[in-house]
Amino acid sequence: MSTKEKIYQLIDNLSEEQLNGLLTMLTGYAEIVEEAKDNAYCAKLYEESKSEDNSETTSIEDFAKELGISIA
């Protein structure tokens, strides 16, 4: 029996109340997994930014000019 079949068999034997609890747990688990992916991506970006040359600076006036914004 495959894992999927075992899970289906377990689910078939749960009451509606138990299914609601299971749904809550699975939803929470999915959110935790997604948050972990986001955190890993942010950590990767942070590490990449630390290795970049950040010595070049631009004044706010020049930056606004590049964007076509007047900050007179």
- The answer to whether 11 and 19 are in contact (CB under 8 A) is yes
Q: Residues 20-40: pLDDT tens digits? A: 999 999 999 999 999 999 999
Contact 27, 21 (CB under 8 A): no
Distance in angstroms (rounded) separating the CA atoms of residues 72 and 61: 9
Extract the tokens encoding 52.
Answer: 């970049």
Q: How many residues does this entry show for the chain?
A: 72
**Strand, helix or coil for residue 68:** coil
pTM for this model (two decimals): 0.54
Convert the pLDDT of each residue in 4-24 to its tens digit: 999 999 999 999 999 999 999
